[in-house]
Structures are given as structure tokens and as C-alpha cells.
Amino acid sequence: KRRIGVLTSGGDAPGMNGAVRAVVRMAIHCDCEAYAVFEGYEGLVNGGNMIRQLHWEDVRGWLSRGGTLIGSARCMAFRERAGRLRAAKNMILRGIDALVVCGGDGSLTGADVFRAEWPGLLSDLVAAGELTQEQIAPYTVLNIVGLVGSIDNDMSGTDATIGCYSSLTRICDAVDDVFDTAFSHQRGFVIEVMGRHCGWLALMSAISTGADWLFIPENPPRMDGRMRCNRKERGKRRTIVIVAEGAQDRHLNKIASSTIKDILTERLGLDTRTTVLGHTQRGGAACAYDRWLSTLQGVEAVRAVLEMSPQSPVPVITIRENKIMRTPLMDAVQATKDVTAKIHAKDFDAAMNERDAEFKE
């Protein structure tokens, strides 16, 4: 029987368990065996009981569970060839030559590197006497498929990443709670949400909560006094500002939540508080959408892994216009990197000025 491994890597996201459950059950449905690799690439590098077979009933009830039950880690060893050599050996010893990786762009880049190196890793293992030619013969190609697990919704080429809607739900609940107290005391609240390089989660949060202002890395404001209008005169009892943790000004300097708080206090005369939502955004049960998405994508990942040809590029499972699709992984990663590079580019300020001028016209 073919053996398919599944691992979760990078920052955890609600829905990762749903993805693992779907991979395990679809693999079994397709007459394969499913193996969980615990603690991300760490489990692949260390082997032993960090790689364990999972049966149908082992993943019962996982669909709604938050976090990742098979663990996730940032693994320095896997970034080095020596670590990937150990990972390859552990996989061959377990008879695993197909892997579904659920993680962010870093984890998926690692998966692509691993697949590209695979034949060379196997030859090196034989040359070093760690494996024999007979042992590696059935495993000449490594099939890898990516699933994007990230609360940040920060991958190009897919409308949603597994976890982002659960996180958005959590943020909406928290902002609703803050609304009540803000209303009571006619306060301003600056609410910091996750998103170091990508403002999608903050943008979705601001729209979904009807926030008054939003700060994201991709669209820096002029800190020139636009936050002015007298909100109390307009009968407003609460003012909410959403800030992505990576919010920056046009000179690429971080905009701290405390700076925005000071503006609200001094310029608008609002009694203002700051709330950093932190890791509550990651925790808790997966929302309905993430249960649905992770299941459909997990099923598709197993199909893709079984249908891959040696020449085909590593696919990542995406969703576009409500259709589950396969996209070349490195195209999606490169497009994501291009966007990130743009928002950290030196001429960003000039580009923003140009855009403002066009807007005025």
C-alpha cells in the first residue's frame, strides 16, 4: 500500500486539524496508509515515534478542534541540507514517498526545496552507506502537495487560507465586546490584530466590524492629520481603529498602536484605550467555513498527490471563485513574495504619492 505523510508547519491555524482529518480519511479511502508527522519538519528530521500511522477513528472529532493536534514547529534543521538528508532517510525507512504539507509560504517553500533535492538526497544516502540501492529503488520521486494554513490570508492565488475566517470570527467577537464598553464610556479603542507583512486579516476585520479607521502595511496613511472629524458632535459614542501589527507609514516606519492612541487622545480628545488581541486570534474551534474549506482541500490534496507525475511542479490547493483548484506552488509563493517586496520597497513612498495624485484628479 502507498503511504502518505501529512504534517502541519509554521504558525498554527484553526482548520489544520480538519485538513489532517480529511487527508487521513481520503488516503484510507484511496487504499493508502496515512502517517502523521508530528511537530512539523522537526518530526521528519527526527523520525522515530514522531512519525505515526493514523487510522480512520484516530481523527474522529478533529474537524472542530482548534490549533493543530499533530503539533507544529519552526525547524532550523530542515533549512539545512543535512537536516533534509535525515528527513529523506526517515521517510524511506517508513516507506513514505508522498507528503501533504499544511503551512504558510515558508513551509511550502521548504517542501518545494525538499522535492527538488530528493533524487540527490537519496544518492547521497546510498553513497554514505546509510541506505542501499534496493531500499531507495521504489522511491525515486517524492510527491508533495501544499495546503495553505495561515490566519493571515497571506497567500496570492487563493481567495482564502485555512484559518483566516476562524480568526476573523474571533476578532469580530472581540470587537463586539469592546464596542459595548466603548459605547458606555464614549471611548476610542485602538485594536491591534495579527498581520506582520499582510493586512488582509485587518482589512477583513475592519469591514466586518464597521471600524472607523484601518492601518495596514500595504496602504500607509499620511500621518498628517486626517484623523480629525469631531465624532462626538456627529453623535458617535464609540470610535474603533483596527491596526495590523505590521502597519507602517510611508517611510516604512512601524506605526505603533500607542501612536494612534495618542492621536485619538490629543487630536480628537477621546479617552482612548488600546487592546492587543494577540494569540486569542489563533485559538479556539474552527468556524464553519474553515471546516468546509479544510475538508474539501484535504480531499483534493490526496487526489493531487496520487495523480502527480514526476515532471509536474508541486501544486498548492487553492480556492478561487468558490472552486477548489490546484495551482503551481512556486507561482503562488513568488506572487506573494512580489507583493511583500513591493510594500517594503524604497520607492513605496513615491508610489503612494503618485496614487494619491491620481485619486485627487
Residues that bind ligand ATP (CB under 6 A): 9-11, 41, 74-75, 78-79, 103-107, 109-110, 113, 150
| 222 belongs to an annotated ligand binding site | no
Q: Are 242 and 271 in contact (CB under 8 A)?
A: no
| 194 belongs to an annotated ligand binding site | yes
Nearer to ligand ATP, 157 or 188 (CB): 157
Q: Chain centroid to CA 61: how far?
A: 23
| 282 belongs to an annotated ligand binding site | yes
Angle formed at CA 242 by CA 236 and CA 247, multiple of 5 degrees: 140
Residue whose C-alpha is closest to residue 22's, from 317, 230, 278, 235:
317
Q: In terms of C-beta distances under 8 Å and separation of at least 24 residues, what long-range contacts does 349-352 make, across chains too?
A: 349/250, 349/251, 349/252, 352/219, 352/220, 352/250
Nearer to ligand ATP, 306 or 335 (CB): 335
Task: Please give the span between the terminal C-alpha atoms of the chain, in angstroms, as a whole number.
Answer: 65
Instruction: Please give the residue whose beta carbon sits closest to ligand ATP in the complex.
Output: 106
Q: Are 329 and 315 in contact (CB under 8 A)?
A: yes
Nearer to ligand ATP, 78 or 139 (CB): 78
| 104 belongs to an annotated ligand binding site | yes
From 12, 97, 112, 152, the catalytic residue: 152
| 163 belongs to an annotated ligand binding site | no
Taking each helix axis from N to C end, the angle separating 105-127 and 329-343, rounded to the nearest 10 degrees, works out to 130
- Considering the complex, what minimum distance in angstroms separates the CB of residue 77 from ligand ATP? 7
Nearer to ligand ATP, 90 or 107 (CB): 107
Give the DSSP per-residue string, 146-206. Answer: EEEB-TT---TT-S--BTHHHHHHHHHHHHHHHHHHHHHHT-EEEEEES-SS--HHHHHHH
- Considering the complex, what minimum distance in angstroms separates the CB of residue 328 from ligand ATP? 17
Told to judge if 152 belongs to the known catalytic residues of this protein, a careful annotator would answer yes
* Binding-site entries: 11, 74-75, 104-107, 150-152, 187, 194-196, 245, 273, 279-282
Catalytic residue positions, numbered: 152
* Binding-site entries for ATP: 11, 74-75, 104-107
